[in-house]
Chains A and B, each alone.
Chain A
Amino acid sequence: MAKGPLVLTEAAVGALNARLAQLLVDANAKTALVVGSSGQLITAAGSTGGLDTLSLAALLSGAFSSTRALAKVFGERGFKAMLQEGDREHVFMHALGTGDLLVVLFGADTPAGLVKFQVSQAMARLDAQVDALYAPAPDAGLGGAIGARIDSLF
């Protein structure tokens, strides 16, 4: 059976963003994203100017999913994190307990070890907060007429 929508309340997103903002300070990083297992952007904190975060989320999810599949080919069962090192920009991704993905973008002036360490320190609380997003949701309150309204969108 397909799952219902993931409903994010303002309070939940606000609390999660505050946690991500603290992680950015602790890790001297620029941007943190939480990306759903289906490639959807759940939230972003920090500097996102100039980034197409929706496309970025899809690519990050694809990169992580395919690398995890590759790890399975080699018999790895506990694949949880990957680091992409560029000349100027680095990306660290870590799986969350929900199957979603925490992504941290940071510059060459920040040691990757610091980011990994701070992510590991923050992971338990982040896991709990993201897990709580999946609690039974309030009615989305969108009303039954939403399908009819789409005619005006095209």
Chain B
Amino acid sequence: MALVNYASREIGCKIVYYGTGLGGKTTNLAFIHERMPQENRGEMVSLATATERTLFFDFLSLDLGSVQGFKTRFALYTVPGQEEYNASRRLILNGVDGIVFVADSDPAKFRENVESLKNMAENLASYGVGMEDVPLVLQYNKRDLPGAVPLEHLQRALNPGGLPAFQAVAARGLGVMETLKTCAKGVLTRLG
């Protein structure tokens, strides 16, 4: 749930990066952390396993400047993509204001993408929230993979409603900021 604080003149919003394991969610956050000026971001917090797989979540706070005299502060989270960590994913979706769904373009991950999107809808429903209630942006990551799933196949399977979608190579930063900007804009527009 977004927070509008007249005392501190701040707006606080929560964006969650969702998707399959090893799909590039943490890579998105790491690039944003690297790209944003130090004065506009906090430190990136990662609760990860010894092999750097996300165990609980990654967290990054961003100050995206002011609108209407309010500082806009975004809390970015990733979820652990591995199937067995669904309880963690559900906890992290609590109070979400916007979602970036990171789909893996690897053909071997096609079915996992579909399952992950379905899982996200189920977890949102556990809070009484429908997919249409939250600004959702899709990111088709790893577009540089040889044999990447054609864009139209991904769109047909994951985005029949024509939500905003971006192609990305998060490891090189391509498409990362555009995705975040569109999601943040969607969140703030709903507040306005």
- Which residues of A pack against B, CB within 8 Å? 1-10, 13-14, 36-43, 52, 54-55, 58-59, 62, 65-66, 69, 137, 140-147, 149-154
Interface residues on B, range: 35 or more
Q: How many A-B residue pairs have CB under 8 A?
A: 144
The answer to whether B19 has its CB under 8 Å from any CB of chain A is: no
Query: Looking at the complex, which one of B5, B47, B97, B129 makes contact with A62 (CB distance below 8 Å)?
Result: B47
B59:A59 contact, CB within 8 angstroms: yes
What A residues does B94 contact at CB under 8 A?
A: 37-39, 65
Closest CB pairs A-B (n = 7): A38-B95, A147-B189, A146-B192, A13-B7, A5-B2, A2-B133, A54-B61
A38:B4 contact, CB within 8 angstroms: no
Query: Looking at the complex, which one of B43, B96, B192 makes contact with A52 (CB distance below 8 Å)?
Result: B43
The answer to whether B181 has its CB under 8 Å from any CB of chain A is: yes
What B residues does A143 contact at CB under 8 A?
A: 68, 192
What A residues does B2 contact at CB under 8 A?
A: 4-6
- Which residues of B pack against A, CB within 8 Å? 1-8, 11-12, 14, 42-43, 45, 47, 56-57, 59, 61, 64-65, 67-68, 70, 72-73, 75, 77, 87-88, 91-92, 94-97, 128-130, 133-134, 177, 181, 184-186, 188-189, 191-192
Q: Determine the residue in chain B with the shortest Cβ distance to A17.
A: B7
What A residues does B73 contact at CB under 8 A?
A: 54
Q: B31 to chain A: closest CB distance in Å?
A: 14
Query: Looking at the complex, which one of A54, A65, A154 makes contact with B177 (CB distance below 8 Å)?
Result: A154
How far, in angstroms, from A154 to B185 measured CA to CA in the complex? 11
Which among B65, B92, B181, B192 has the highest number of chain A CB atoms within 10 Å?
B192
What A residues does B91 contact at CB under 8 A?
A: 62, 65-66, 69
B177:A140 contact, CB within 8 angstroms: no
A6:B3 contact, CB within 8 angstroms: yes
B3:A40 contact, CB within 8 angstroms: yes
A142:B67 contact, CB within 8 angstroms: yes
Q: A72 to chain B: closest CB distance in Å?
A: 10
Q: A115 to chain B: closest CB distance in Å?
A: 26
Query: Looking at the complex, which one of B75, B87, B133, B184 makes contact with A150 (CB distance below 8 Å)?
Result: B184
A9:B191 contact, CB within 8 angstroms: no
| 13 intermolecular pairs with C-beta atoms under 8 Å apart | A1-B130, A2-B1, A2-B133, A4-B1, A38-B94, A54-B75, A62-B91, A140-B191, A142-B67, A149-B188, A150-B64, A151-B181, A153-B72
A58:B77 contact, CB within 8 angstroms: yes
What B residues does A62 contact at CB under 8 A?
A: 47, 56-57, 91-92
What B residues does A149 contact at CB under 8 A?
A: 67-68, 188
A150:B181 contact, CB within 8 angstroms: yes
What A residues does B128 contact at CB under 8 A?
A: 1
